[in-house]
Structure 1
Amino acid sequence: MTSDQLPDPLADVPGAEYVEAVDHVGVATADLEATVAFYRNAFGLVEVHREENRDQQVVESMLAPAGRTTDRRTLIQILAPLSEDSPIGKFLDRSGPGLQQLALRVSDLAAISERLREQGLRLLFPEPRPGTAGCMINFVHPKDAGGVLIELVEEPRGN
């Protein structure tokens, strides 16, 4: 496809009012420290946030390019399971380490969730859940999204 065949990126596309950016990509690993060290040593990425999410049975580290940690950037999220039967533990058992999800930053999680359900897409949770750093999240079922687990992330109000 040539550039003159591409759609106008400013065109009015239904649903586009909700998606602000790619928020992060999630990488599943059994060894959080080794994976964080790999991204630091190979690419100069630095950890900008770490937390344990007991609800999802995961410990996670958010990585960003050094020196570019204060703007609204796309991050890499390293995810390690707290238990083998956690979602990340099951993912590692089934698929091994690697890309686990694509997260989109959205302006209104409730509105886009309603829109997606109206289109027949399944979300993993009936209601949004707490995610990283006070964000609210939900996921589009990978069977409804071409095999990709898509996380929807709404930042806390006022950010």
Structure 2
Amino acid sequence: MKLTHIEHLGIAVKSLDEAIPFWEQKLGMKCYSIEEVKEQKVRTAFFKIGQSKIELLESTEPDGPIGKYVEKNGGGIHHLAFAVEGLQENLDELASKGAQLIDKTPRKGAEGLNIAFVHPKTTGGILMELCEDPNKK
């Protein structure tokens, strides 16, 4: 594996409009980007902290992955994302070691990153996202 750093921590929220003020007003962080990822039925809001980010996730559809998560859990930490070098190679390596992948090939995610998810059954209960910036290849 070629992990470089924690890319972001994904936090599912019911509403970005309700969640963003806490991060900005109480913690003094600045939301630098809000983006909709239609394929994933989600709106995201990003905050930078050091080299890593916090990604707030709001569902745009009740049947989307975040909508289902919020319905079941009421929100909270959804996933841990690592930045990697060579996303497809890392996925192939994980698969060869018996890891259960949600995505066998990368797909587009927020901020223009290529992403893929590893199933929580493999990671001890944590949904893991691997991210690669296609502009840093």
So what's the TM-score if we normalise by structure 1? 0.82
Q: Does 1:88 align with 2:72?
A: no
In the alignment, the residues of structure 2 paired with residue 82 and residue 155 of structure 1 have an alpha-carbon distance, to the nearest angstrom, of 25
The answer to whether the Cα contact below 8 Å between 2:23 and 2:29 also exists between their aligned partners in 1 is yes
Give 3-state SS (helix, strand or coil) of 1:44's partner: coil
Q: Does 1:43 align with 2:21?
A: no
1:46-85 pair list within 5 angstroms = 46-65=30-49, 73-85=51-63
> CA shift at 1:37, angstroms?
0.8
Larger radius of gyration: 1
Unaligned runs of 5+ residues in structure 1 are: 1-14
Q: Does 1:117 align with 2:95?
A: yes
Q: Does 1:105 align with 2:94?
A: no
Give the aligned partner of residue 16 of structure 2. 32
Question: Higher strand share goes to which structure?
Answer: 2
> CA shift at 1:96, angstroms?
1.3
Q: Kindly provide the CA deviation profile for residues 51-86 of structure 1, in whole angstroms up to 9, marking residues without a partner as x.
A: 100000000011124xx6xxxx11000000001000
How many residues are treated as equivalent by the alignment? 137
Segments of 4+ moved more than 4 angstroms: none
Range with bigger deviation, 41-50 or 110-119: 41-50
The answer to whether the Cα contact below 8 Å between 2:91 and 2:104 also exists between their aligned partners in 1 is no
Give the aligned partner of residue 121 of structure 2. 143
Quick one: which amino acid aligns to residue 90 of structure 1?
K
> CA shift at 1:98, angstroms?
0.6
Unaligned runs of 5+ residues in structure 2 are: none
The answer to whether the Cα contact below 8 Å between 2:42 and 2:64 also exists between their aligned partners in 1 is yes
> CA shift at 1:135, angstroms?
0.6
Q: Kindly provide the CA deviation profile for residues 26-50 of structure 1, in whole angstroms up to 9, marking residues without a partner as x.
A: 0001111111111111111111222
In the alignment, the residues of structure 1 paired with residue 21 and residue 29 of structure 2 have an alpha-carbon distance, to the nearest angstrom, of 9
So what's the TM-score if we normalise by structure 2? 0.95
